Amino acid sequence: MPLDYLLENYTLGNVRVWGLIGGWVLIIGATLAITIQLLPETSFTGNANDILYFFLFNPALIAGILLFFWLGFEWGFIPVFLSSFIVAFYSGIPWFWALVFGIAFVLGIAIYAMAYQGFSVSYDLRNFKSIAFYISIMFIGSIASSLGAFIWSFIHHLSAYNTLIIWKSWWSGAFVQAVVIIGPALFLFTPLVERLKSKWLDLPDQHEVSMKWILGAVGSITTALALFIFSGRWLGKLRVQEVMTGNNTATVKDVITALESFELISWISIAIILVTGYGAFNLISGWNKRLNDEVDSRTQELDRNQVMLQKSLDEKKILLKEIHHRVKNNLALMGGLLELQERMGREDDPVMNLQTARSRIRSMAMAHEALYQHETLSDISMKAYIENIAGYTHKSISNPDIDVEMHFDLDDASLEMSKSIPLGLLVNEILINAIKHAFKGRNKGSIWLKSTNNNGTILLSIHDDGVGLPEHEDEQQISTSLGMTLIKKFSKQLQGDLSISSEKGKGTSFMLEFKI
pLDDT, position 242: 59
pLDDT, position 475: 46
Q: Cα-atom radius of gyration of the chain, to the nearest Å?
A: 46
* Element (DSSP H or E) covering residue 181: none
Q: Which residue has the higher pLDDT, 219 or 381?
A: 381
Q: Per residue in 18-62, pLDDT tens?
A: 788 888 889 888 888 887 776 655 455 556 676 777 777 788 888
The Cα 386–Cα 300 span in angstroms is: 46
Q: What are phi and psi of 366, to 5 degrees?
A: -65, -35
Q: Per residue in 238-280, pLDDT tens?
A: 656 655 665 555 555 555 555 555 565 566 666 666 666 666 6
The Cα 416–Cα 380 span in angstroms is: 6
Question: Among 44-48, 354-358, 482-486, which stretch is predicted with the lowest mean pLDDT?
Answer: 44-48
Q: Is 90 exceeded by the pLDDT of residue 460?
A: yes
Q: Is 70 exceeded by the pLDDT of residue 235?
A: no
Give the CATH class of 345-515: alpha beta
Q: Per-residue confidence at 409, pLDDT binned at 50, 70, 90?
A: very high
Q: Which residue has the higher pLDDT, 157 or 122?
A: 122
Secondary structure of 52-73 as H, E, C letters: HHHHHCCHHHHHHHHHHHHCCH
The Cα 360–Cα 330 span in angstroms is: 11
The Cα 109–Cα 123 span in angstroms is: 14
What's the mean pLDDT in 309-334? 72
Cα-based distances in Å from 259 to 104, 170, 232, 238, 270: 21, 20, 10, 9, 17
pLDDT, position 276: 63
DSSP per-residue string spanning 120-133: ---SS--SHHHHHH
Q: Where are the domains of the chain?
A: 3-304, 345-515
